[in-house]
Amino acid sequence: MSDERGPNEILLGAPADPTEAVAPRPSTVVKVAEPAPDAPPLPAPPPRAGRGSSAEAWRQWAESAGVAVQDDAGRDDIIAACEAAGVLTGTENI
């Protein structure tokens, strides 16, 4: 049986202990809401260039999005870290 779950999906109906011998049960794949439904929405990111696009503005936004960046990271490095973390799609502020 192949596991076709994505990274934000939980397999329901699977045994709690995978080594436990149990009769096969039907499984249901359920998408998990990301972020958690009770989490406040993420504010719009700063512009990628021009006024308001400083490294400090991006650092503050990255921190609010839960992305850790080094103190000496530049704006482009911070944007790349946010994209790698999945909090930016690359189409914002274009």
- pLDDT tens, 59-74? 999 999 999 999 899 9
Q: Which residue has the higher pLDDT, 38 or 48?
A: 48
0.85 exceeded by pTM: no
What was the pLDDT predicted at 46? 95
Distances, alpha carbon 72 to alpha carbons 21, 24, 49, 50, 61, in Å? 52, 53, 19, 20, 16
Shortest CA distance to 43 belongs to which of 21, 24, 60, 30? 60
